[in-house]
């Protein structure tokens, strides 16, 4: 009787493992098919973001006396138009422990690109390449890395709405 129970248990486990493998494979195919690529329209709407790192604009010891230098933590809401335009709506920031309260910002204040492989770039209003971005979850989220010399700053964003 015990030998029969062992075989039934092993057979059941094999069926469950096989079913889970095929379910995972089908789900991965469906996700890929539904999100076949990205474009500038992938970033559209309002996004909550958080940004952390170290901002050494003037570089190392030369950073003394610069207000924006040192460790930073920032959060806020930004807007992406789905057409390559972007703007900061509202943010608050701590730089080296100095807190800047909630500030409303005018929009637009820059542009962005997104390639079909879901990587892209952000540009300041003057055209300077400021950040690299990876769009994930069909545009629901993004990861960003600052491209300014002397900085180690990462940002993550999550869409608050689906845009218009």
Alpha helices by DSSP H, listed for the chain, are 2-34
Domain count of the fold of the chain: 2
Both 47 and 128 in one domain: the answer is yes
95: containing domain: 40-159
Is 164 within a domain? no
The confidence band for 96, taking pLDDT boundaries of 50, 70 and 90, is confident
The tens digit of pLDDT for each residue in 127-153 reads: 999 999 999 999 999 999 998 888 899
Q: How far is CA 84 from CA 13, 115, 122, in A?
A: 51, 12, 9
User: Looking at the structure, do residues 27 and 52 belong to the same domain, yes or no?
Assistant: no
Percent of the chain with pLDDT over 90: 49
Per-residue pLDDT, 144: 96
In a domain, residue 75? The reply is yes
Give the mean pLDDT of the chain: 78
Tell me: do 118 and 47 sit in the same domain.
yes
Same domain, yes or no: 52 and 126: yes
Nearest to residue 109, comparing CAs of 125, 128, 133, 89? 125
């Amino acid at each position: 009787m015990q030998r029969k129970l062992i075989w039934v248990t092993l057979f059941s486990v094999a069926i469950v493992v096989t079913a889970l493998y095929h379910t995972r494979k089908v789900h991965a195919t469906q996700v890929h098919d539904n999100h076949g690529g990205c474009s500038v329209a992938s970033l559209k709407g309002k996004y909550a973001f958080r940004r952390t790192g170290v901002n050494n604009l003037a570089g190392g010891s030369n950073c003394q006396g610069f207000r924006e230098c040192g460790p930073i933590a920032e959060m806020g809401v930004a807007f992406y138009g789905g057409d390559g335009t972007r703007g900061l709506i509202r943010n608050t920031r701590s730089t080296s422990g100095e807190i800047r309260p909630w500030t409303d910002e005018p929009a637009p204040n820059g542009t962005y690109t997104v390639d079909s492989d879901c990587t892209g770039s952000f540009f300041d209003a003057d055209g300077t390449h400021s950040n690299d971005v990876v769009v994930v979850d069909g545009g629901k989220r993004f990861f960003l890395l600052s491209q300014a010399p002397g900085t180690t700053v990462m940002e993550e964003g999550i869409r608050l709405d689906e845009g218009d």
